[in-house]
Amino acid sequence: MKIDNEKLTRFVRAKLNEHGVDDLLKGTDAVVYGGYLRDAVREFHNPDLTAGYKDIDILAIGRIGADTISSRLSKKVVFNESTLYQAKNIIARTERHEGTIFQVIIPQMTYLLEKEQMDALQRGQDVNKWLSLGIKKFIQNVDIFCCGLAYSNGTLYEAVATAYEDCKNNTLRINEGADMLFEDRTNGRIIKLEARGWHYDWPEKEEEKPEGGTIDFADIL
Protein backbone atom coordinates (compact mmCIF):
# COMPACT_ATOMS: atom_id res chain seq x y z
CA MET A 1 0.00 0.00 0.00
CA LYS A 2 1.31 3.43 -0.93
CA ILE A 3 2.27 5.64 2.03
CA ASP A 4 0.36 8.85 1.42
CA ASN A 5 2.76 11.38 2.93
CA GLU A 6 4.38 13.61 0.30
CA LYS A 7 6.86 15.27 2.66
CA LEU A 8 8.06 11.90 3.95
CA THR A 9 8.35 10.49 0.45
CA ARG A 10 10.39 13.49 -0.71
CA PHE A 11 12.66 13.10 2.34
CA VAL A 12 13.24 9.39 1.71
CA ARG A 13 13.77 9.93 -2.00
CA ALA A 14 16.33 12.67 -1.31
CA LYS A 15 18.19 10.36 1.10
CA LEU A 16 18.32 7.58 -1.48
CA ASN A 17 19.39 9.92 -4.25
CA GLU A 18 22.38 11.09 -2.25
CA HIS A 19 23.61 7.73 -3.55
CA GLY A 20 22.03 7.97 -7.01
CA VAL A 21 19.39 5.30 -6.41
CA ASP A 22 16.84 6.52 -8.97
CA ASP A 23 19.52 6.48 -11.67
CA LEU A 24 20.57 2.98 -10.63
CA LEU A 25 17.01 1.67 -10.89
CA LYS A 26 16.06 3.54 -14.07
CA GLY A 27 14.58 1.27 -16.72
CA THR A 28 14.33 -1.75 -14.40
CA ASP A 29 11.58 -3.25 -12.24
CA ALA A 30 13.82 -3.28 -9.18
CA VAL A 31 12.65 -2.29 -5.70
CA VAL A 32 14.56 -0.93 -2.69
CA TYR A 33 13.44 -2.47 0.59
CA GLY A 34 14.39 -2.87 4.23
CA GLY A 35 16.76 -1.16 6.63
CA TYR A 36 17.69 2.00 4.73
CA LEU A 37 14.03 2.89 4.33
CA ARG A 38 13.35 1.96 7.94
CA ASP A 39 16.04 4.35 9.17
CA ALA A 40 14.95 7.16 6.84
CA VAL A 41 11.32 7.00 7.97
CA ARG A 42 12.37 6.96 11.62
CA GLU A 43 14.68 9.96 11.12
CA PHE A 44 11.90 11.93 9.43
CA HIS A 45 9.63 11.50 12.45
CA ASN A 46 12.38 11.42 15.12
CA PRO A 47 15.18 13.73 13.92
CA ASP A 48 17.04 13.59 17.24
CA LEU A 49 17.56 9.81 17.13
CA THR A 50 20.73 8.23 15.78
CA ALA A 51 20.42 7.02 12.19
CA GLY A 52 22.02 3.73 11.23
CA TYR A 53 22.29 4.15 7.47
CA LYS A 54 24.59 1.60 5.90
CA ASP A 55 23.11 -0.91 3.46
CA ILE A 56 20.83 -0.20 0.51
CA ASP A 57 19.19 -3.47 -0.49
CA ILE A 58 17.83 -3.68 -4.04
CA LEU A 59 15.56 -6.53 -5.12
CA ALA A 60 15.74 -7.23 -8.84
CA ILE A 61 13.36 -9.25 -10.99
CA GLY A 62 15.59 -11.71 -12.80
CA ARG A 63 19.24 -11.76 -13.72
CA ILE A 64 19.00 -9.19 -16.53
CA GLY A 65 17.70 -6.50 -14.18
CA ALA A 66 20.28 -7.42 -11.53
CA ASP A 67 23.14 -7.26 -14.03
CA THR A 68 21.91 -3.90 -15.35
CA ILE A 69 22.00 -2.38 -11.88
CA SER A 70 25.31 -4.06 -11.03
CA SER A 71 26.94 -2.63 -14.14
CA ARG A 72 25.98 0.88 -13.00
CA LEU A 73 27.69 0.53 -9.63
CA SER A 74 31.16 2.00 -9.67
CA LYS A 75 33.94 -0.24 -8.32
CA LYS A 76 31.47 -3.10 -8.28
CA VAL A 77 32.29 -6.49 -6.83
CA VAL A 78 30.09 -9.06 -8.54
CA PHE A 79 29.63 -12.55 -7.14
CA ASN A 80 26.99 -15.15 -6.41
CA GLU A 81 26.18 -16.02 -2.85
CA SER A 82 23.28 -18.27 -1.94
CA THR A 83 22.16 -17.80 1.66
CA LEU A 84 19.31 -20.18 2.27
CA TYR A 85 18.27 -18.79 5.64
CA GLN A 86 17.60 -15.44 3.99
CA ALA A 87 16.18 -17.03 0.84
CA LYS A 88 18.07 -14.78 -1.52
CA ASN A 89 20.89 -14.72 -4.03
CA ILE A 90 23.27 -11.80 -3.63
CA ILE A 91 24.46 -10.92 -7.13
CA ALA A 92 26.53 -7.83 -6.39
CA ARG A 93 27.81 -6.21 -3.23
CA THR A 94 29.86 -3.04 -3.34
CA GLU A 95 30.82 -0.10 -1.16
CA ARG A 96 29.97 3.29 -2.56
CA HIS A 97 29.55 6.84 -1.28
CA GLU A 98 31.23 7.09 2.13
CA GLY A 99 30.78 3.53 3.24
CA THR A 100 27.22 2.88 2.08
CA ILE A 101 26.98 -0.72 0.87
CA PHE A 102 24.73 -1.69 -2.02
CA GLN A 103 23.43 -5.25 -2.26
CA VAL A 104 21.71 -6.31 -5.47
CA ILE A 105 19.54 -9.32 -4.72
CA ILE A 106 17.48 -11.81 -6.69
CA PRO A 107 15.02 -13.59 -4.36
CA GLN A 108 15.20 -17.35 -4.77
CA MET A 109 12.15 -18.18 -6.82
CA THR A 110 12.15 -21.83 -5.74
CA TYR A 111 11.55 -20.61 -2.21
CA LEU A 112 9.13 -17.82 -2.95
CA LEU A 113 6.81 -19.35 -5.51
CA GLU A 114 4.43 -22.26 -5.34
CA LYS A 115 4.97 -25.28 -7.60
CA GLU A 116 2.29 -24.30 -10.12
CA GLN A 117 3.80 -20.83 -10.36
CA MET A 118 7.25 -22.28 -10.96
CA ASP A 119 5.80 -24.56 -13.65
CA ALA A 120 4.21 -21.56 -15.38
CA LEU A 121 7.48 -19.67 -15.12
CA GLN A 122 9.37 -22.53 -16.75
CA ARG A 123 6.81 -22.65 -19.56
CA GLY A 124 7.29 -18.92 -20.12
CA GLN A 125 3.78 -18.03 -18.97
CA ASP A 126 3.06 -14.87 -16.97
CA VAL A 127 6.74 -14.42 -16.18
CA ASN A 128 6.54 -10.88 -14.85
CA LYS A 129 3.41 -11.68 -12.87
CA TRP A 130 5.01 -14.59 -11.02
CA LEU A 131 8.30 -12.80 -10.46
CA SER A 132 6.45 -9.78 -9.06
CA LEU A 133 4.60 -12.06 -6.67
CA GLY A 134 7.95 -13.42 -5.53
CA ILE A 135 9.25 -9.93 -4.80
CA LYS A 136 6.14 -9.12 -2.76
CA LYS A 137 6.30 -12.33 -0.76
CA PHE A 138 9.98 -11.76 -0.02
CA ILE A 139 9.40 -8.32 1.50
CA GLN A 140 6.34 -9.49 3.40
CA ASN A 141 8.53 -12.10 5.13
CA VAL A 142 10.94 -9.70 6.83
CA ASP A 143 11.62 -10.81 10.39
CA ILE A 144 10.96 -7.40 11.96
CA PHE A 145 7.84 -5.46 10.96
CA CYS A 146 9.52 -2.06 10.62
CA CYS A 147 11.71 -3.42 7.80
CA GLY A 148 8.68 -4.14 5.62
CA LEU A 149 8.94 -0.99 3.50
CA ALA A 150 9.58 -0.70 -0.22
CA TYR A 151 10.53 2.09 -2.64
CA SER A 152 9.99 2.10 -6.39
CA ASN A 153 9.72 4.84 -9.03
CA GLY A 154 9.73 7.68 -6.51
CA THR A 155 7.03 6.13 -4.34
CA LEU A 156 7.20 4.69 -0.82
CA TYR A 157 5.13 1.62 0.10
CA GLU A 158 4.21 -0.33 3.22
CA ALA A 159 4.49 -4.03 2.39
CA VAL A 160 3.81 -5.31 5.90
CA ALA A 161 0.99 -3.99 8.06
CA THR A 162 2.26 -1.67 10.85
CA ALA A 163 5.73 -1.23 9.25
CA TYR A 164 5.23 2.52 8.86
CA GLU A 165 3.77 3.06 12.32
CA ASP A 166 6.55 1.02 13.94
CA CYS A 167 9.21 3.16 12.23
CA LYS A 168 7.37 6.32 13.21
CA ASN A 169 7.11 5.15 16.83
CA ASN A 170 10.69 3.82 17.02
CA THR A 171 9.37 0.34 17.84
CA LEU A 172 10.71 -3.13 17.04
CA ARG A 173 8.22 -5.99 16.81
CA ILE A 174 8.89 -9.47 15.49
CA ASN A 175 6.92 -10.78 12.54
CA GLU A 176 6.10 -14.13 14.12
CA GLY A 177 4.65 -15.53 10.91
CA ALA A 178 7.68 -14.78 8.74
CA ASP A 179 9.16 -17.75 6.93
CA MET A 180 12.61 -16.18 7.22
CA LEU A 181 12.48 -15.70 11.00
CA PHE A 182 15.49 -17.25 12.76
CA GLU A 183 15.83 -16.54 16.47
CA ASP A 184 19.59 -16.06 16.76
CA ARG A 185 19.86 -13.86 13.69
CA THR A 186 16.81 -11.78 14.59
CA ASN A 187 17.94 -11.31 18.21
CA GLY A 188 21.30 -10.11 16.95
CA ARG A 189 19.60 -7.57 14.71
CA ILE A 190 17.42 -6.37 17.58
CA ILE A 191 20.43 -5.84 19.84
CA LYS A 192 22.17 -3.85 17.10
CA LEU A 193 19.09 -1.68 16.56
CA GLU A 194 18.57 -1.14 20.30
CA ALA A 195 22.07 0.36 20.40
CA ARG A 196 20.81 2.91 17.88
CA GLY A 197 17.88 3.86 20.10
CA TRP A 198 15.14 1.53 18.87
CA HIS A 199 12.79 0.09 21.51
CA TYR A 200 12.00 -3.61 21.90
CA ASP A 201 10.13 -5.42 24.68
CA TRP A 202 11.97 -8.69 25.21
CA PRO A 203 9.65 -11.70 25.77
CA GLU A 204 9.94 -11.70 29.56
CA LYS A 205 8.66 -8.13 29.58
CA GLU A 206 5.87 -8.53 27.04
CA GLU A 207 2.27 -8.42 28.21
CA GLU A 208 0.99 -9.73 24.92
CA LYS A 209 2.37 -10.91 21.62
CA PRO A 210 2.42 -8.45 18.74
CA GLU A 211 -0.26 -8.61 16.12
CA GLY A 212 0.23 -7.85 12.47
CA GLY A 213 0.18 -9.30 9.03
CA THR A 214 0.78 -8.63 5.40
CA ILE A 215 -1.21 -6.42 3.11
CA ASP A 216 -1.38 -6.32 -0.65
CA PHE A 217 0.75 -3.78 -2.50
CA ALA A 218 0.25 -5.03 -6.04
CA ASP A 219 0.67 -1.52 -7.43
CA ILE A 220 4.40 -1.45 -6.61
CA LEU A 221 5.39 -3.07 -9.91
pLDDT per position as a tens digit, 146-169: 999 999 989 999 998 899 999 999
What is the pTM (predicted TM-score) of this model? Answer: 0.78
In angstroms, the CA 121 to CA 76 distance is: 30
- pLDDT higher for 106 or 213? 106
Residue 157 backbone phi and psi in degrees, to 5: -125, 155
Q: What is the pLDDT of residue 173?
A: 94
> Is 60 exceeded by the pLDDT of residue 81?
no
Greatest mean pLDDT among 6-15, 68-77, 97-106 lies in: 6-15
Q: What is the pLDDT of residue 126?
A: 60
Full set of structural domains in the chain with CATH: 6-206 (3.30.460.10)
